[in-house]
Amino acid sequence: MTGDLLVVAQIAGRRCALSALDVKSVIEIGTVTPIPRAPAWIAGITALRSQALTVIDCRHAIGLAASATGADWPTDHRAIVVAEGGHAYALRVDGIEDITTAAGEAGQVPGGFGPEWSRIAIGMIETMAGPALLVDLAALLTGPESAAREIEAAA
Amino acid sequence: MDDLLADFIAETREMLEASGGELVAWEADPADRARLDAIFRFVHTVKGNCGFFDFPRLANLSHAAEDALADCRAGRRDPDRHLVTGVLAIIDRIAQMIDAIEAGEPFPEGGDEALIAALDVSHETPTGEGLEGVERGSDGGQGAAEPALGPASDDPAATIVPNGRRADPAAAQRTIRLPVELLDRVMSGVSDMVLARNDLAHRLRQAGTQPTIDGPFERLTTILSDVRDAITRMRMQRIETLFGALPRLVRDLSAELGKQVMVDLDGGDVELDREMIETIRDPLTHIIRNAIDHGIESPSARLAQGKREIGLLAIAARQSGNTISIVISDDGRGLDEERILAKGVATGLVGAAERAGLTRDKILNLIFEPGFSTAETVSNVSGRGVGLDVVRQNLEKVGGSIKVGSVPGEGTTFTLQIPLTLSIIAGLTVDAGGQRFAIPQSYVEEIVQASSRALDFTRMGETALVTFRGVRVPCLMLGEVLGLADGTGREPTLVMLRLASGDLFALAVEGIHNHGDLVVKPLAPAVMKSGLYAGSTLLDDGTPVLLLDVANIAAQHHLVSDARARVIGAIEETADEAAEAAERAMLFTDFAGRRSAVRLELVQRIETAPVTAIDRSAARPRVVIDGMILPLIGLPDTPLTQHRVRLLRLSDGACEVLQAVREVEDAVELTHPLAPVPEDPLVEAITLIGGKPATLIDAHELFARYGEPPVAAARPRCVLPAGEWARAILAPLVTAAGYDILSEGDPAAAEPGAIGILFEDVYEVAEALGRPLPARVIRLRDQPEAPAGSPTIYRYDREGLLAALAEAAAAAAAPRNAYAAGEAA
């Protein structure tokens, strides 16, 4: 892990990191066509050249509605393009900070990150730009419903 | 070196796959020379390729097989069953070795000699001892059990019925191998190019007409659309490539299981995305395995039940709209409902209390549930830990589905539905809630403006109904379906959609945009889960648009299945009443200025045809529409002044007639009494429509007189002289006159129907030298004035040239029509 490139972005006011290997590009986001009756965390689709990208609202995908946490963060006009399972997604985040290098392995912190964050986190990672939460892309892209279901099943 | 080796492996694999079917066909008929040649070529190529690499064992094996086959080809030896089995065993060994080479593993030593020795058994020895090892598989379990079958059991276990064309390997096209990823890159590049072109087109329109730019731009557009077509076809592959391996698979399986199975393959020319073919390969194999293992009985059991001892396994592929269905049916014992149910209860899939309430359909579908497998003993063939649940999962992953139907004692049918993702489909874009959506054209039956009274829009509780052609049809509001607010409040437009099951429903949308070819791309799984969308596509301006999953939306609103039968029953009653209440007709004005009407049931479509598509040279005029020659009535006696003619396409189901009209008025109800007109057989009655008289055309007499089954119009062909003038100036004229252009030297030019246009000087030379000329020739001269008695036409005499072409076309068409009529009789 040490030495790997990471893309650092702010999501819901927290510093998060994505492995640069997963990130295809960073784009200026154009018009987003909403998808009626799709889950709230899917903002819609947008076109990147001839490709259609599914736009993910990362805060909703983590399970944090802006109103629930009481704060409203600005959204970056740029989005991070990632590919997962043969589909391309554009991730909407608060802001894209930098590309940096990992300075250690991803590790856990005592007490965890809170249920929403723990679901999508691989762990905390030290980077050249300070600590960040390393995001599990696959978990992020399954959306918050899966977590809700797990909780129901456990109850 | 590694590249060479990879190529060698890939090429050998491809040939193995292709020759699988040939091998079994050859086994069925060892005397078949063409098959023998194909297999000989295969081993010969392998042997040759081995020379580059150090594979002595492969070389020895292929050499032995080549020798034996060469003897057969030279007539020194009869290709008997032992030889066939021996060669098959060697080819199998080659396949295994190729696998080992690719994996970089050492192949177990020994065994080759026995295989080679098996080939050496001369044909005088009826049962070679050396063959035991090779043949054990095909005799196991069968030889002892059914001595009564006598000579029949000596027959090969599987036979193939070649269905449809089989490509002659010698005539195969030259091919090269390319990584799919590269194709994808080219394809997305072309898509980007199309978007860039559209952007440019938009800007050009803003800038106004600029002749110097518009010309090249048009050319660019044409080229681009050609390239796009070609690229799309590059990804497509005939399903034949998948079918090719099946006869061999069936042969081996049936031999192993002591069964006799005949394969019937159909629809090999259906084209499918390459990757989709790979996706369905395993499910298909699995179902075939199941059918042979569990479905088809042993020959003795079949005879005891009065069936033919050879079981039939039919595999057919069909394309319908944007789905491909593959049907695999066997005539075996069928699924045992009781046993499935018992198993379902035993494995806990069904509660003991529920079992009484299950329909047969539900019970049969249990076989797709995880953890279900009916085979009592896990056999070598079908019990490999993967069940039909995995098959279903794999198909659903690509948006497909699987269904099963079965009649006890008569057989089982599996139907696989797979989408043509990544393919281009014709679609319609519509508006709802201020947003655009696309609907596959294949579902669209008709578009109806709701403003017309005939629709009779009613709300029954939460359900909306419309009356369409006298039938009450459920109507969905697209805005409501999608949870969007109705943006405009205008009267909706209805799109009548017909599902594959035959159910009809209306979808109310706010507006229709246009239709065209849409490149459909898959959506992310989380979006697919909503069940409303089948994919996404990009409009010309690059905006993404969602493609509606019509079948699923209908299913979510219970417009298919059980509920449907009830509703339809009720609808049909009201339909009858409605039909009695008012018959409907299409009102139009013909060229004589008469107000006429024809019953609406007869009207298939309203066509608009260019005058050039009309041929009036014969006694009865005809018109070419969509490549079909159809009879045409109602033309004025005077020449037509306009460029386009409106035509009503009338059909009685088999025959078609086109009625030329000056103006189409409307679809009307025949509410006034019909007054018969006995003196004119072509008129059924005179009636009042909108207070004015109109004649109703007598359909019976019309079709009796003029009806003709459509004849496909092979466009007449014309051979043009070489040179820039002919290509640039003459060709467009000839094409517009309805001809296909052939270049000189094209083999089709020698066909009797082709017409030749020649310059007078060329014609004279050709005639003098006795060169072959087309049957009909139009001779052109360079000077406006004709030399006396010369049957030539001045090369800029447009009317003269067109007349000559029309005459020649009529003369060419006449014998063909006669032929078609003779064939129909």
ipTM given for this complex: 0.85
The answer to whether B371 and B350 have CB atoms below 8 angstroms apart is no
Task: Tell me the pLDDT tens digit for each residue of A123-141.
Answer: 888 888 888 999 988 888 8
Contacts of B464 (CB under 8 A, 6+ apart): B457, B458, B474, B475, B476, B477, B508
Rounded-to-integer distance, Cα B365 and Cα B367, Å: 5
Q: Is A74 on the interface with B (CB under 8 A)?
A: no
Count how many residues are written for chain A: 155
Is A87–B194 a contact, with Cβ atoms under 8 angstroms apart? Answer: no
Choosing among A28, A50, A51, A145, which should be mutated to test the B contact, i.e. which has the most B CBs within 10 A? A50
How far from each other are the two terminal CA atoms of chain B, in whole angstroms? Answer: 64
- Residue B320 in contact with residue B359, Cβ under 8 Å? no
Task: Provide the 3-class DSSP secondary structure of residue B738.
Answer: coil
**How close, in Å, is residue A135 to chain B by CA atoms?**
19
SS3 per residue for B594-625: CEEEEEHHHEEEEEEEEHHHEECCCCCCEEEE
Q: Does any CB of chain A come closer than 8 Å to the CB of residue B536?
A: yes
Contact B474, B454 (CB under 8 A): no
Report the pLDDT value the prediction gives residue A7, as an integer from 0 to 100. Answer: 92
- The residue ranges of DSSP E strands in B16-157, in sequence order, are none
Residue B455's closest CA among B442, B466, B440, B439?
A: B466
Which pLDDT band holds residue B357 (cuts at 50, 70, 90)?
A: confident
Average pLDDT over residues A73-80: 82
Question: What is the rounded distance in angstroms from the CA atom of residue B102 to the CA atom of residue B508?
Answer: 58
Pick from A33, A37, A38: which is nearest to B544 by CB? A33
B113-B115-B120-B123 Cα dihedral, nearest 10 degrees: 160
Question: How many Cβ atoms from other residues are within 10 Å of residue A104's Cβ?
Answer: 13
Is residue B430 within a helix (H) or strand (E), and if so which, with residue range? strand B424-432
- CA diameter of chain B: 102
Instruction: Kindly report, residue by residue over B278-312, the tens digit of the pLDDT.
Output: 778 888 888 888 888 888 888 888 888 888 888 88
**Calpha distance B554→B507 (Å, rounded):** 10
Length of chain B: 825
Please name which of B750, B745, B739 lies closest in space to residue B713, comparing C-alpha atoms. B739
Retrieve residue B730's tokens. Answer: 């003459």
User: For position B127, what pLDDT does the model report?
Assistant: 40
SS3 for B708?
strand
* Distance from C-alpha of A107 to C-alpha of A124, rounded to nearest angstrom: 5
* Greatest extent of chain A over all pairs of C-alpha atoms, in Å: 46
Phi, psi of A110 (to 5 degrees): -60, 135
Q: Which of A35, A37, A47 is facing B538, going by the closest CB pair?
A: A47
Q: pLDDT value at position B437?
A: 92
Pick from B128-142, B314-328, B520-534, B806-820: least confident: B128-142
Kindly state the DSSP code that residue B729 receives in the 8-state scheme: I
What does the block give as tokens for B436? 């655009």
Give backbone dihedrals phi and psi of B61, rounded to 5 degrees, phi first.
-60, -50
Give, for B14, the enclosing helix (H) or strand (E): helix B2-28
For B520, the 3-state DSSP assignment is: coil
B616: left (phi over 0), alpha (psi -120 to 50) or beta: alpha
Interface contact B542, partner A, CB < 8 A:
yes
Chain B residue with CA closest to A52: the answer is B544
CA atoms of B38 and B16, how far apart (whole Å): 11
| Axis crossing angle, helix B274-290 with helix B388-397, rounded to the nearest 10 | 160
Strand B444-449 relative to strand B411-419, pairing? unpaired
- For residue B779, the distance in angstroms to the closest alpha carbon of chain A comes to 52
Which of B662, B778, B646 minimizes the C-alpha distance to B721? B778
Residues of chain B above pLDDT 90, percent: 1
The reported pLDDT for the residue numbered B568 is: 34
B692-697 and B595-599 beta bridge pairing: parallel
Domain boundaries, chain A: 5-154
CB contact under 8 A, B526 and A38: yes
Q: How far is A73 from chain B (nearest CA, A)?
A: 25
Q: Is B438 on the interface with A (CB under 8 A)?
A: no
SS3 label, residue B447: strand
| Beta pairing partners, B317 | B326
Residue A47 at interface with chain B, using a CB cutoff of 8 Å = yes
Residue B142 has phi, psi (to 5 degrees) of -105, -45
3-state secondary structure of B664: strand
Contacts of A95 (CB under 8 A, 6+ apart): A9, A10, A74, A76
CA-angle at A78, arms to A74 and A81, nearest 5°: 125
Rounded CA-CA distance B784/B430 in Å is 57
Closest CA to B647 of B668, B621, B677: B621
Q: CB–CB of A42 and B526 under 8 A?
A: yes
Inspect the interface and report whether the beta carbons of A33 and B530 lie closer than 8 Å.
Answer: no
The residue among B602, B576, B341, B597 whose CA lies nearest residue B471 is: B576
Contacts of B536 in chain A (CB under 8 A): 45, 52
CB-based contact B407:B361 (threshold 8 Å): no
Which chain A residue has the Cα nearest residue B546?
A35
- Indicate the range of A126-135, B257-266, B507-516 predicted with least confidence: B507-516
Nearest to A47 among B484, B533, B543 (CB): B543
* Among B157-171, B263-277, B286-300, B793-807, the least confident range: B157-171
Nearest-by-Cβ selection for A37 from B191, B483, B522: B483
Mutate which of A29, A32, A37 to test chain B, going by most B C-beta atoms within 10 A? A37
pLDDT, tens digit (0-9, with 9 covering 90-100), for B66-93: 888 878 777 777 777 777 778 888 888 8
pLDDT of B767:
77
Task: Compare CB distances from B484 to A36, A42, A52 and report the shortest one's residue.
Answer: A36
B194 vs A contacts (CB less than 8 Å): 50
Average pLDDT for chain B: 74
pLDDT per position as a tens digit, B687-708: 888 778 888 888 888 888 887 7
**pLDDT cut 70: percent of chain B above it:** 79
Residue B825 has pLDDT above 50, yes or no: no
Beta-carbon-side half-sphere exposure of residue B725 (alpha carbons within 13 Å): 8
- Chain CA centroid to CA A130, Å: 18
Q: Do A49 and B191 touch (CB under 8 A)?
A: yes
Beta strands in B331-410 (DSSP E): 401-407
Q: Which residue of A has its CA nearest to B537?
A: A52
Task: Assess whether pLDDT exceeds 60 at residue B742.
Answer: yes
State the average pLDDT over residues B195-214.
80
Q: State which fold the A5-154 domain adopts.
A: OB fold (Dihydrolipoamide Acetyltransferase, E2P) (2.40.50)
Cα B617 to Cα B289: distance, rounded to the nearest angstrom: 61
Sign of the torsion formed by the C-alpha atoms of A50, B545, B418 and B527 = positive
**Contact A45/B at CB under 8 A:** yes
The two tokens of residue B161 are 């019925």
| Residue pairs spanning A and B at CB distance below 8 A | 73
pLDDT at B167 over 50: no
For the cut 50, the answer to whether the pLDDT of residue B383 exceeds it is: no
**CB-CB under 8 Å, A89 with B526:** no
Q: How sure is the predictor about A81, in pLDDT bands with cuts at 50, 70 and 90?
A: very high
pLDDT at residue number B400: 74
| Residues in a beta bridge with B615 | B622
Tell me the sheet residues that pair with A26: A80
A123 CB neighbour count, 10 Å cutoff:
15
Task: Compute the distance between CA of residue B414 and CA of residue B286 in angstroms, rounded to an integer.
Answer: 11
pLDDT digits (tens, 9 = 90+) for B767-809: 777 776 777 788 888 877 777 667 788 888 888 888 888 777 7
CA-CA distance, B39 to B15, in Å (whole number)?
A: 10
- Run of H or E including A98: strand A95-101
Of A34, A39, A46, nearest to B526 by CB-CB distance is A39
**Euclidean distance between the first and final Cα of chain A, in Å?**
36
* Residue B530 to residue A35, Cβ atoms within 8 A: yes
Q: Which of A38, A47, A51 sits opposite B188 (nearest CB)?
A: A51
CB B409 within 8 A of CB B305: yes
Separation of alpha carbons B559 and B610, rounded Å: 41
Each residue's pLDDT tens digit, A20-30: 888 988 988 88
Amino acid making up residue B594: R
Residue B514 parent element (H or E): strand B511-519
For residue A52, give the nearest of B483, B532, B536 by CB distance: B536
Our measurement of the distance from residue A27's CA atom to the centroid of its chain's CA atoms, rounded to an integer in Å, reads 15
Contacts of B482 in chain A (CB under 8 A): 36-37
C-alpha to C-alpha distances, B331 to B258, B262, B328, B411, B800, nearest whole angstrom:
17, 11, 10, 4, 65
Interface of A with B in 90-129 (CB under 8 A): none
Looking from the CA of B567 toward its CB, the CA atoms found within 13 Å total: 18
Q: How far does CA B238 lie from the centroid of its chain?
A: 10
B-chain residue closest to A142, CA distance: B526
Instruction: Identify the residue with better confidence: B486 or B153.
Output: B486
DSSP conformational letter for A112: -
B545–A38: do the CB atoms touch at under 8 Å?
no
Please tell me the distance from the alpha carbon of residue B620 to that of residue B638, in angstroms, as a whole number. Answer: 15
Q: Do A42 and B532 touch (CB under 8 A)?
A: no
Q: Let me know: does A57 contact A43? Beta carbons within 8 Å.
A: yes
Identify the CA nearest to B634 among candidates B671, B615, B660, B673: B660
The closest CB to that of A89, out of B435, B524, B532, belongs to: B524
Identify the CA nearest to B802 among candidates B727, B721, B718, B737: B737
Which residues in chain B have their CB less than 8 angstroms from residue A38's CB? 526-527, 530
d(CA B325, CA B276): 13
